[in-house]
Amino acid sequence: MKKLLVSGVAALAVFAGSAMANDSVLSMSKNPNGMVLQTGDYANTRFSKLNQINRHNVKNLQVAWTFSTGVLRGHEGAPLVVGDTMYVHTPFPNIVYALDLANDGAIKWKYEPKQDPDVIPVMCCDTVNRGLAFANGKVFLHQADTTVVALNANSGEVEWSVVNGDPSIGETNTATVLPVNDKVIVGISGGEFGIQGHVTAYNIETGEKVWRGYSQGPDDMLLFDENTTELGKPVGKDSSLNTWEGDQWKIGGGATWGWYSYDPDLNLVYYGSGNPSTWNPAQRPGDNKWSMTIFARDADTGVAKWVYQMTPHDEWDYDGINEMILTDQEIDGKMRKLLTHFDRNGLGYTLDRETGELLVAEKYDPVVNWTSGVDMDPESETYGRPAVVAEYSTEQNGEDVNSVGICPAALGSKDQQPAAYSPRTQLFYVPTNHVCMDYEPFRVSYTAGQPYVGATLAMYPAPNSHGGMGNFIAWDNIKGEIVWSLPEKFSVWSGALATAGDVVFYGTLEGFLKAVDAKTGQELYKFKTPSGIIGNVMTYSHSGKQYVAILSGVGGWAGIGLAAGLVNPNDGLGAVGGYAALSNYTALGGQLTVFALPN
């Protein structure tokens, strides 16, 4: 790691107004009383300026009200609040409710799409959806069947809809969307079905497609130009094609089902691409660019300014789709625009988001063993590349060799469950998985719309540790160090929330909402909700009172056994066996629980 000195107070990257940005999102995301994006703000900080609930009084929280969603699968994401209205979403069939906060949460309108249930078995890891976005008087939903819908925020009527993918070839959606400028940015799921990943921009008023950038393929599809770089080196013409064998790139994965961030000053959208297909690395020799890559794309044209591939020739399913958190921080006496990313591969990255320069790449779970570290020498031929430990490679002189004791497991040291950042402490709060695996590849043939995995997995808690499967940590992104760590029985599959009250909230797979001190990690409050929590904590204020809200409903990859009724330990890509004990602590549910301090 580079030696970097940090001083002063980090500036929260909720950017000042830019003529390029969507004015409604910029102005409304600055108002802490509501929430218009799943990420809280364009910078993906998940920090709230509300401080009525603080580290001194959070112990007094009580349930204020609840709402049943009527759906019994994994509930990811969070509700939105705009004025007197709360917008709540569900997993498949992706119902949207508008609740009247000024009238005891009465349902103002309900949107229930009629989707073909055949999309359910094509969804990799439960029927989750990571939520809605609000802009220009519209609520945006990206449905499981890839239909993008713009709903009138007042009436729920469909203003436009467009089909973004094809479920018959394995393209589905689990992600939210990001309104930017006059566009809505959306991704695609389906890496386990051999899709060709892409990101697409649609006109925010009409739904017309403006541009599409693929994760791999000819450069006219990738929208790269001669100025695009990787760690300061030109990317070059057809840069991805020579890293795949033959036409494997056409079914090469690189799905884009994670989170999106945006810097209005640079007009760049940041996101990550997922695993290459198949999971059998012997069937796809080469670096498999640009899977496992951080992209910085121009919001208006889709042209990539820079890219960084974190895990070339991924052998472990370490999807690179986790959130990119944008902060402005002082390093060596100079303010820099930073991007911090906690990858599934177990490494916490800090980059200059303007240039793509790699500043930090360190393990945020000490048990990570597949790599000995990243080459940080800019003069080296392998600059920015992780060194693979041969013992934990899954490509062991051919196929059908079971590699054991690999840490982390395929679901990563952190999956999509998003971290939060507090400018008050300059720390990142990261929900993590403390899980290892055995991994046995086998040869698989591609058939459109059928699983294209090619590996059998077994998952289990990291050995010689606290015996649990998760930690909630505070991370210093400049030093690349854990500041404090709280062990958990199961993976922390809930997104975090940091507040100006110096409280950090997160949920657990058993169903607890927890509040901890942002500086010390001391537990200040916990309450068990009706089902396991894989949703993201949010906060809002209404009529002068601050509330904290969380969706509970166990599921997602970690809870797929419960959500889908699976019992074979190898099902759910190995998660069913790894999380079998979860059924002793929680059951299916679908509920919103809202908390407040007593009057």
pLDDT digits (tens, 9 = 90+) for 170-225: 999 999 999 999 999 999 999 999 999 999 999 999 999 999 999 999 988 899 99
pLDDT in tens, 63-93: 999 999 999 999 999 999 999 999 999 999 9
Nearest partner of 191 among 306, 78, 276, judged by Cα? 276
pLDDT of residue 301: 96
pLDDT, the chain, mean: 94
**Average pLDDT value for residue range 454-481:** 95
What CA–CA distance (Å, rounded) separates 178 from 201? 9
pLDDT beyond 50 at 4 = no
Longest Cα separation, the chain: 67
What CA–CA distance (Å, rounded) separates 306 from 286? 21
Contact 118, 124 (CB under 8 A): no
The terminus-to-terminus CA distance of the chain in angstroms comes to 50
pLDDT of residue 21: 61
Query: Concatenated DSSP letters for 40-62?
Result: SSTT---EE---SS-TTTGGG-E
pLDDT of residue 1: 38
pLDDT beyond 70 at 3 = no
Q: Which amino acid is at 213?
A: G
Query: Concatenated DSSP letters for 127-167?
Result: S-----EEETTEEEEE-TTSEEEEEETTT--EEEEEE---G
What CA–CA distance (Å, rounded) separates 302 from 223? 6
Residues in the chain, how many? Answer: 599
What CA–CA distance (Å, rounded) separates 379 from 343? 24
What CA–CA distance (Å, rounded) separates 179 from 169? 27
Considering 317, 319, 328, 415, which one is annotated as catalytic? Answer: 317
| Phi, psi (rounded to 5 degrees) for 578 | -65, -35
Other CB atoms within 10 A of residue 187 CB: 29
pLDDT beyond 90 at 427 = yes
Residues whose CB falls within 8 Å of the CB of residue 599, separated by 6 or more in sequence, listed in order: none
Residue 334 in 3-state DSSP?
strand
Residue found under tokens 């301090």 = 597
pLDDT beyond 80 at 441 = yes
**Average pLDDT value for residue range 264-291:** 97
pLDDT of residue 442: 94
pLDDT in tens, 21-58: 678 898 898 999 999 999 999 999 999 999 999 999 99
What CA–CA distance (Å, rounded) separates 368 from 188? 29
Contact 486, 471 (CB under 8 A): yes
Residue found under tokens 């973004």 = 164
pLDDT in tens, 360-409: 999 999 999 999 999 999 999 999 999 999 999 999 766 678 999 999 99
Pairing relationship of beta strands 435-441 and 178-180 according to DSSP bridges: unpaired
Contact 233, 243 (CB under 8 A): no
pLDDT of residue 10: 38
What CA–CA distance (Å, rounded) separates 36 from 546? 16
Percent of the chain with pLDDT over 70: 96
Nearest partner of 424 among 11, 5, 7, 6, judged by Cα? 11
**Average pLDDT value for residue range 263-279:** 97
pLDDT beyond 70 at 529 = yes
What CA–CA distance (Å, rounded) separates 480 from 532? 31
**287 classed as catalytic:** no
Other CB atoms within 10 A of residue 60 CB: 11
Contact 528, 511 (CB under 8 A): yes
**Average pLDDT value for residue range 484-495:** 98
**Average pLDDT value for residue range 324-341:** 95
**Average pLDDT value for residue range 322-338:** 95
H or E segment and range at residue 27? helix 23-29
Tokens coding 88: 């709540």
Residue 331 in 3-state DSSP?
strand
Residue 471 in 3-state DSSP?
strand
Residue found under tokens 């840069």 = 239
Domains detected in the chain? 11-596 (2.140.10.10)
Q: CA 459 → CA 74, 235, 435, distances in Å?
A: 20, 37, 7
| Phi, psi (rounded to 5 degrees) for 169 | -110, 10
Other CB atoms within 10 A of residue 391 CB: 12
Residue found under tokens 């999102």 = 25
pLDDT beyond 60 at 423 = yes
Residue found under tokens 């198949």 = 278
pLDDT beyond 90 at 426 = yes
Nearest partner of 402 among 364, 437, 355, 361, judged by Cα? 437
**Average pLDDT value for residue range 331-341:** 94
Residue 526 exposed, middle or buried by CB count within 10 Å (0-12, 13-18, 19+) = middle
**Average pLDDT value for residue range 485-502:** 98
Residue 584 in 3-state DSSP?
helix
Residue found under tokens 């919001």 = 299
Tokens coding 52: 């009525």
Q: What is the DSSP letter of 574?
A: G
Q: Which range has the worst mean pLDDT, 20-34, 256-270, 550-564?
A: 20-34
**Average pLDDT value for residue range 113-140:** 95
**SS3 labels along 173-225:** CCCCCEEECCEEEECCECHHHCCECEEEEEECCCCCEEEEEECCCCHHHHCCC
pLDDT beyond 80 at 357 = yes
Where does the pLDDT of residue 11 fall: very low under 50, low under 70, confident under 90, or very high at 90 and above? very low
Residue 465 exposed, middle or buried by CB count within 10 Å (0-12, 13-18, 19+) = middle
